[in-house]
Structure 1
């Protein structure tokens, strides 16, 4: 790691645009979880890993002052597979709350401040072991928040593509589209990849 006083520049949009694309998870490695039974299976599979990439999605609000009732989707990922949990079903929602409150696992992601607040409000739990990857890069001397795009560029010399259409889509829909699933899953997957590439020990 570089000493904290060393200033390092976060790559800009123009630099990132020239890089080859990041290899994303395809639909065959993404599990949509909508029921308690599916959530139990996901819990069993996730238990094999001590580090999960983590993110959430909420239906966007377009009216000033309108409060979001999100998150509507929670994503967790290992290096092999991602799970996209919808929170409509009470049983599924309860198991997601258990996963996020589970000690001994690192939930790594970018820009998680709002996510944590919304989870506490909606699921009634304080997520345990959450690691804000932007803070790790700040400790390494990067001046501003890295974000997933900057981190993928720095660590893998690749371009992480995010669909604005998917980002601003209705995450509260009962039926998510394939593009929504791929978008959501890969935000968490990229965070897991970044965590491991940084060489951080579990429990960091």
Structure 2
């Protein structure tokens, strides 16, 4: 049986109650060596992370991105936002992404993977494209985090367009940027959890 399931449209999602996002009290900015080591210690205790990156937008034709500028990893309790301009943060981020046996689940990760290989010099392990899982389960359209949250939790995932197109290369990230970035990874983790998936080797 080849049933193709429909993804809720924008209007239907707009009517849903909001998804409860992580507040700043559960988001850790990682911008120096000490914070990076602490983040590594916490994250390596988990078997899966929600995963995403952000890059400074490019506006000119032919302009190449030198991103990612930040990396977001999340567990059920907390998210960490790594600033990759800091060498120690970059080294720890590379070590975490190269770690086998931990699922790194997210949406639209093709570009992220290519940029990580270029910027961090490692092949990320255990990358799980959640969109692929939804296709395998019969959803015909690309899902994305908003669609997935609507389908699994019957809730509306709020994303700020202003934060999405902001400068992620800034040395000082705003609170709005931290909340936006962390919750992309956190929502991906919650979706991974709700799908009942297993960590990858």
Alignment counterpart, residue 196 of structure 1, candidates 180, 193, 196: 193
Which of 104, 107, 110 is the aligned partner of 1:110?
A: 107
Aligned equivalents of 1:37, 1:93: Cα separation in 2: 13
For 1:201, what is the secondary structure of its paired residue?
coil
* Residue matched to 2:76: 79
Corresponding position of 2:154: 157
SS of 1:76's partner is: strand
Paired residues, number: 201
Correspondence for 1:30: 27
Offset, 1:74: 0.2
- The CA distance in 2 between the partners of 1:91 and 1:56, in whole Å, is 17
After TM superposition, give the deviation of residue 150 of structure 1 in Å. 0.1
Per-residue Cα deviation, 1:65-120 (whole angstroms, up to 9, x for no partner): 10000000000000000000001111110110000000010000000000000000
Task: Measure how far apart 1:6 and its partner are.
Answer: 1.4
Quote the residue 2:164 is aligned against: 167
Match of 1:47 in 2: 44
| Larger deviation, residues 193-202 vs 67-76 | 193-202
Determine if contact 2:100/2:200 at 8 Å carries over to the other structure: no
Q: Secondary structure at the match of 1:53?
A: strand
Q: CA deviation at 1:36?
A: 1.6
1:175 CA displacement: 0.1
For 2:81 and 2:26, the matched residues in 1 are separated by 11
**Paired residue for 2:137?**
140
Report the counterpart of residue 119 of structure 1 in structure 2: 116
Identify unmatched segments of 5+ residues in structure 2: none
- Structure-2 separation of matches of 1:140 and 1:59: 34
Q: Which ranges of 4 or more aligned residues in structure 1 deviate by more than 4 Å? A: none
CA offset digits 1:46-75 (Å, max 9, x no partner): 111010000000000000110000000000
Secondary structure, aligned partner of 1:116 = helix
The runs of 5 or more residues in structure 1 that have no matched partner are: none
